[in-house]
Amino acid sequence: RYMGTGRVRMVYSPTDLLDMALKSEKPVVFLGIGFETTIPTIASVFLKAEQEKIANLFLYTAFKVIIPALRALLDIPDRYLDGFLLPGHVSAIIGTEAYSLLEEPGGVPGVVAGFEPADMLFAILLILRQISRGENRVENGYPRVVKADGNPRAREIMERLLTPGSEPWRGLGIIPDGSRRLKDEFRRLDADVVFDLPEIKDYDPPGCICASVILGKKSPVDCSLFGKKCTPENPVGPCMVSSEGSCAAYLKYGD
Ligand code: SF4
């Protein structure tokens, strides 16, 4: 169906949006992607847009949150994981206390890691130590940035604008409360509602085993397209898109 014409622009920061919308006579739609790391900044911009009654700025939400995803991974009957290397940037917002589900019976070791090579190695060491001791605790391997209670102010900003939603995740299906969408009181900002956008259907392209790669059940090298038909320059599946994609990282750094 005809969806109109428009320009796609990348912005360095969502804070550029207010100025961009004020200078435009057309609707400006921001595609909000990300986890707890990026959501608070985007939320603060849209709360300000609402406060300043900027009528032509809209948000299309593709926000995810991590804890329901960890729960879904733990609940997979034939799960293939021994521990979680927990992301430092998300943990700076949600805090180590948010991961208490990993310490419940049936949990696995979880260690918050920083991004320097030494941080990663240290966190892996802590996971291995827990495995060798038969423990499943949450440890903070990135204490210079991550605190036990994270950043309550950032979470409060998120929660003012957004509410839990249940949308599909690659390889995991619909995760209850695993997404964040605009609250009903902010429907005026919601591009999905305002432009009556069609439902997005997720699928793996033929031959792509990205879902199994994400779940740790298969390695990128098990995919017949890996490094041949599927490369960072011409990605077939989503795991090859961006330097953070599992297949793209594997292609770059190898075993
Ligand atoms: S190499 Fe490409 S096609 Fe294969 S699993 Fe990865 S993203 Fe999918």
- What are the extents of the domains in the chain? 16-65+151-194, 67-140, 210-253
In this prediction, residues 207-218 reach a mean pLDDT of: 90
| Cα 166 to averaged position of ligand 1 atoms, centre (Å) | 26
ipTM confidence score: 0.99
Residue 43 CA: distances (Å) to CA of 133, 144, 149, 188: 42, 26, 20, 14
pLDDT band at 46 (very low <50, low <70, confident <90, very high): very high
| Residue 27 pLDDT greater than 80, yes or no | yes
Q: Looking at beta carbons, which pairs linking 120-123 to residues 24 or more positions away fall under 8 Å?
A: 120/85, 123/85
pLDDT value for 3: 59
Q: Which atom of ligand 1 is closest in space to residue 226's alpha carbon?
A: 1
The mean of the pLDDT values for the chain is: 93
Task: Assign domain 67-140 to its CATH architecture.
Answer: 3-Layer(aba) Sandwich (3.40)
Mean pLDDT, residues 236-249: 92
* 196: confidence class by pLDDT, cuts 50, 70, 90: very high
Fold: same for 16-65+151-194 and 67-140: yes
Ligand 1 centroid vs 172 CA: distance in angstroms?
Answer: 17
Q: Say yes or no: CB of residue 220 within 6 Å of ligand 1.
A: yes
Q: Is the CB of 150 under 6 A from ligand 1?
A: no
Place of tokens 């879902």: 211
CATH classification for the domain delimited by 16-65+151-194, as one of 3.20.20.100, 3.40.50.300, 3.40.630.10, 3.40.50.11740: 3.40.50.11740
Q: Which residue has the CA at smallest separation from atom 1 of ligand 1?
A: 226
Given phi > 0 = left and psi -120 to 50 = alpha, else beta, which region is 207? Answer: left
Question: By three-state DSSP, how is residue 165 classified?
Answer: strand
- Helix/strand/coil for 25: coil
Nearest CA to ligand 1 atom 3: 208
**Share above pLDDT 90 across residues of the chain, in percent, rounded to a whole number:** 84
Q: Where are the beta strands (DSSP E) in the chain?
A: 28-34, 57-64, 84-87, 110-113, 138-140, 162-165, 168-169, 173-174, 179-182
